Amino acid sequence: MKRNSKKLKIGYIGGGSRGWAHTFINDLAQCEDLSGEVFLYDIDYEAAKRNEKFGNWVQSLNEAVGSWEYRAVKERKKALDDADFVILSIQPGPIEHMAKDIDIPQKYGIYDTVCDTVGPGGTVRAMRTIPIYRDFARAIRKHCPDAWTINYTNPMTVCTRTLYEEFPRIKAFGCCHEVFGTQSFLASLVRKYWDVEEEPSRDEIDVNVKGINHFTWIDRAEWRGRDLFPLLDRHVTEEGVVREFETEEMKEESYFVDNFQVTYELYKRFGILPAAGDRHLVEFVPWFLEDVDDPESLHRWGIRLTPNEYRLERWREAPKKFHKQMEGEEEFEFIDSGEEGIDQMKALLGLGDMKTNVNLPNQGQMPEMPEGAVVETNAYFSQNQISPVTAGKLPRQVRNMILTHVYNQETLVEAGFKGDVDLAFQAFLNDPLVNLDTERARELFEEMVRETQDFLDDWNLKDSETLK
């Protein structure tokens, strides 16, 4: 791609998104360096039409400095043909299926906080997603093989890995903002403990990222060349920073509240800083979510379970907010989203280099992880190129925790390409949250698969020995 030589074409798969699409529209409208068309494709065409209307309305506002036109299309081919960039942002299966991913394991005493990456729900969600992403990769290979593909869908690792397994030459990477929250937290410590006039922006905090999506870690953090780990060590000794929370004080908190108590606990135990929110971290290790008699014991760590009623209501109510803004019933304001998708696109177009954390197949940036497995580290973005940064080794026990999930994710991808349900069950059984005997685990797996079987056409359910 030449430096801003033409109007860009962006093919947005999942263009009826009720969340991320609106962030993307907000960010594009504030970027005067790029211009072009965004083609919105979704299996729910009416949802894509809503976002077409909203996107073009945003572009009509005086404050919009970007020049973009949004078009909803009924055929995916029209969105992808000769696209410069492809955005993948979907809900794999109906939102009601995510509710079942959460509800069914609870009958077996297994509780999830997010349920989109690991655990029983994350495993079955991956089973739904792998065939979809194989199809995406084939379509990209056919219609726009040289496009850069940016994935925002979870399970991030499995989605990105599937794209490369189906189309090895694809130029794809996965983006997640979890590390940004840790950078912001470290920036707040700079303001609190050092004599600076104002808190640094989070992108001033230079961190070395290593791990897998939603289970990332940081072993170096600096601000203007100054080591931030002594600040962290000081902070966790301050009175009231590390503490237990009571259920009563958590009742009115946001379902997304993060008090860093899981982060502090893991840092204390392993000497390396977790770099994802506590709601994600607790799903990767067995210690925080295994009190089956009292699921509210999670409150002790300053986080909450997110009830399905809230998730379903938020999904159903989301379009109303943007309709009210267009009708003048609610005020619309451009925001600084903190996301980096537009900056990444600019760098790939030759409009300035950048370094940030992304999900890519391992080419040695994490030497202790299997080659080809998708890992999350820093990478340099430059014109038409992404160069992963070597992250170095992890403490042995942290590496062991991560490897369990890496091999489970690799097994799921292999199973998805074979349609092998029994192989997928091996990954399910090996997940740290599945703290059941093998027969109970099989019963849970079978119940979850049966509930979502309408979206598992590529899987050989009929011949599975696991599904009795």
Beta bridge partners of 89: none
Q: Which of 467, 420, 415 is nearest to 442 (CA)?
A: 467
289, 111 in Cβ contact below 8 A?
yes
> Between vectors from CA 102 to CA 413 and to CA 180, what angle results, nearest 5°?
70
| Residue type for position 330 | E
From the candidates 22, 143, 177, 405, give the one annotated as an active-site residue: 177
User: Which residues have C-beta within 8 Å of that of residue 215, sequence separation ≥ 6?
Assistant: 274, 276, 280, 281, 284, 401, 402, 405
100, 290 in Cβ contact below 8 A?
no
128, 93 in Cβ contact below 8 A?
yes
Indicate if 177 belongs to the active site. Answer: yes
26, 332 in Cβ contact below 8 A?
no
Give CA separation, 210 vs 8, 130, 147, 374, in Å.
33, 24, 27, 11
d(CA 188, CA 198): 9
Catalogue the active-site residues: 177
